[in-house]
Amino acid sequence: MMRTTSVLPLPNFNIYGAVPLAQENSFDSLSYEALNDFVRKNGSYIFYSFIVVSIVIAASFGVLTPPTERMSTADNSTSALSQSISPHIAIAAETVQSIGQAALPRRATAPIATQASPLHYRFAVDGTLHETGSMSESSSPYFWLNSGGRLILKGGIGQTIQGALSSTDRWRILYNASSAVDTGNGFYPQNLFRLVTKSSWTNVEAEVRFNINKLNMTDTPNRDGYSGVLLMSRYQNGQNLYYAGIRMDGKSVIKKKVGGTYYTLASGTAFKADSAYNKYRNPNLIPENRWMRLKSVTRDLPDGSVKISLYMDTSDTGTWQLLLETIDRDGLGGLKAIHGSGHAGIRTDYMDMLFDDYRLTEL
């Protein structure tokens, strides 16, 4: 249900989504047809019969209860695992997607919610949103978790995965197969957290309240000073969008990604420290265990250019400081500006994060 000035989460927000990963370094999961062919060629009819009986028994005990009828909090739900199988991962019978010609039913997905501006998301309903392979598969009417494994809603706070996953966790196994280097052999999918709105926005002010609960010191060349907390705008896909935010080396940045390549439009200093940034000895200059606010404004100008501004409220009191401002235009660096509407969202790197009060306002 939506008020004219805010959007409230729906009760079914924690429905398990499908498992296939979708991120910059992801692998392609098997299609339903390919998986059917895989099972037909590699299994026996006795095995099929065993799986059918197992599913029937599981259903009788409520394990496969439709998501609209229950609110599951189990991290390793059989029903969630049954949504995907990697060609090089075997997780026993519960990962089998189809049996002979009869595929297991897909999980219900949520339509995009009708929403007015401003959108004010308060993470008010406890539950879990799972990463899915496409926006259409997401069980939330408001968000698509593109990467990061899970978005956990608890006590009015949104959370990435906190700490290391267990070795048998399904997301640990899948990320170990697809992004082992960046996620510590799959134990930290939250290192690559990307939350995208289902709704599209053109001229938009985006704001989020956040808290860095813990830094993950994953030994990867991709964890470095440019990692951080960023707001996304004009998101066309994972390869084309604007970013604005703060970095682990204490800098503020506005950049765009075009065709998978990053281009810095503006940068400055957001945080200073007594000792300089060092990946190992002083790996994060952004204050941790402290609530702060980040805001970006993306809007078209009359001459066809795009103005992007970045603000920070380090005291969480509503006192905003302008960090950066830049104008992107066609021809700058031989590229075009990103015009028209696009999705918004939040990106964080190599951190256990807490979120609150995510707001979007059409300008």
* CA–CA dist 64, 74 (Å, integer): 12
CATH number for the domain spanning 266: value is 2.60.120.560
Q: What is the 3-state secondary structure (H, E, C) of 119-187?
A: EEECCCCCEEEECCCCHHHCCCCCEEEEECCEEEEECCEEECCCCCCCCCCHHHHHHHHHCCCCCCCCC
Give 247's Cβ-side CA count (13 Å radius).
23
**What is the per-residue pLDDT across 257-271, written as a single tens digit (0 to 9) for each?**
999 999 999 999 999
Please, are residues 326 and 183 in contact by the beta-carbon 8 Å criterion? Answer: no
Q: Is the pTM of this model over 0.85?
A: no
**What is the per-residue pLDDT across 57-99, written as a single tens digit (0 to 9) for each?**
444 443 333 332 222 222 332 222 223 323 222 222 222 222 2
Rounded to 5°, angle at Cα 44 from 38 and 46: 140
**What is the per-residue pLDDT across 19-65, written as a single tens digit (0 to 9) for each?**
333 333 333 333 334 444 444 445 444 454 554 445 444 444 433 33
Range of the domain at 274: 119-362
Domain termination residue (choose one: 69, 103, 137): 103
Is 90 found in the same domain as 230?
Answer: no
Q: Does 113 fall in a domain?
A: no
Total structural domains within the chain: 2
Is 247 found in the same domain as 343?
Answer: yes
